[in-house]
Amino acid sequence: AAADPRGIAFKTILTPEQIEALSDDPAEMLQQLLDMASPNAVIRVDSFFGGPLPPKAQIKSIHIVRDAFAAENHSAESDEIQIITQPGVGPIHGGGNSRFRDGSMSARSPFTQTRGPERTQNVEGNIGGSLIKNKSSFSISVGRRSAFDTPTLYVALPGGGTRSEVMNLRRPNDNWSVFGLFDYALTRDQTLRLSYDQSNSRRRNLGVGGYDLDDRAYSTDVQDHELRAQIVGPLGRRMFANTRLQVAWVDSASQARRAGDRRTPSAQHRVRVGYRLHPRHQHGACRRARRQRLVPLERLDQLPGHLHVYEHRCVRCGPACQLHTPDRQSAD
């Protein structure tokens, strides 16, 4: 079990060769990791959930944890993929990819005689690398996705009969995102990480097609922002601290197509602060390293996901707080 200091039976640690064999494309890398873990696995990058995958050159270690019953997982019902990055790794490099797909290979609906147009276009690019060798690095990635399809209508009319046709409107979905990461090794053992993530989504003519006429159409606009800061490293010989701050805010609005319907903008602001102290570990590499003044961070990353003070006792503690301030309003 994860709390057993004698082994890591419920954790898989990818070797440097396995990490190097992963795809450079973030989407393909994500699928490869999910294939190794499980389709429902959650990903944690530098102790944070929900962020994009870092460039492969900045990945230091990848752990796949399969113990859903360990106390530290808080009754998680899926596997967890833990990714640790390292500052100042790799030369400055960049990459990009694009994708285009239209509806020429799509089949028409069996309820209509024609096929509506559709299209998907993706463009992504990234640049990153070390600013100061073995000291500081950065990463910036941007992406845009533009797509649309044509809904198909098949409804029973109030006066009898049915109406089946390709609707004379498009259902566009436009998204773009930007992600920036900066990390700096404050000391040999303490690392500062700062990141910002923003994504925008605009969707039109939702809620129509199938059994719904075009008078039920509505549109949505969503802006999602996340700012994260982290300082991680050992404190003296006996403790390991992971201090995290996350500020996230979401601005969303929905608009009915018909005039006079209601517009509902909303904003949500969340602040999360976590501080975790890890007592000295008595197992393996850390047992040998406890004679030093500080336990090297790279050694602690390779230890099992538990720590303890006595030979058969494990302790993991730290306060956490969360602030949630919703702001919603509706107007005719």
Give the gyration radius of the chain's Cα atoms: 25
271 and 189 part of one domain = yes
pLDDT, one tens digit per residue, over 128-172 is 888 988 888 888 888 899 999 999 988 888 888 888 888 888 999
Q: Are 89 and 58 in contact (CB under 8 A)?
A: yes
Confidence of residue 329 (pLDDT cuts 50, 70, 90): low
Give 119 or 283, the one with higher predicted confidence: 119
Give 323 or 12, the one with higher predicted confidence: 12
> What per-residue confidence (pLDDT) applies to 8?
63
pTM score above 0.85: no
> What per-residue confidence (pLDDT) applies to 316?
64
283 pLDDT more than 60 = no
pLDDT, one tens digit per residue, over 234-253 is 877 777 788 888 888 888 88
Q: Are 177 and 234 in contact (CB under 8 A)?
A: no
314 and 172 part of one domain = yes
How many independent structural domains does the chain possess? Answer: 2
Nearest to 283 by CA among 268, 297, 300: 300
User: Mean pLDDT of all residues in the chain?
Assistant: 74
pLDDT, one tens digit per residue, over 161-210 is 888 888 888 999 999 989 888 989 898 888 899 989 898 999 999 988 88
> What per-residue confidence (pLDDT) applies to 257?
67
Ranges 17-21, 214-218, 318-322: which has the least confidence: 318-322
> What per-residue confidence (pLDDT) applies to 9?
67
C-alpha distances in angstroms, 60 versus 17, 91, 299, 326?
12, 15, 12, 37
Give 28 or 321, the one with higher predicted confidence: 28
42 and 129 part of one domain = no
Residue 114 tokens, joined = 């024609």
Confidence of residue 310 (pLDDT cuts 50, 70, 90): very low
64 and 130 part of one domain = no
Instruction: Give the end of a domain, one of 85, 113, 146.
Output: 85
Instruction: Give the end of a domain, one of 85, 112, 137.
Output: 85
99 and 71 part of one domain = no
In 3-state terms, what secondary structure has residue 312?
coil
Confidence of residue 276 (pLDDT cuts 50, 70, 90): very low
197 and 309 part of one domain = yes
The CA distance from 176 to 146, in Å, is 8
80 and 92 part of one domain = no
Instruction: Give the end of a domain, one of 85, 108, 131.
Output: 85
> What per-residue confidence (pLDDT) applies to 173?
93
92 and 54 part of one domain = no
Q: Are 62 and 81 in contact (CB under 8 A)?
A: yes
- 11 residue type, one letter: K
> What per-residue confidence (pLDDT) applies to 85?
79
User: Beta strand 218-235 with 162-166: parallel, antiparallel or unpaired?
Assistant: unpaired
95 and 67 part of one domain = no
Domain of 71, in residue numbers: 1-85
H helices present in the chain, as ranges: 16-20, 26-36, 285-289, 297-300
179 and 280 part of one domain = yes
156 and 290 part of one domain = yes
Mean pLDDT of the 286-297 span: 31
96 and 74 part of one domain = no
> What per-residue confidence (pLDDT) applies to 107?
83
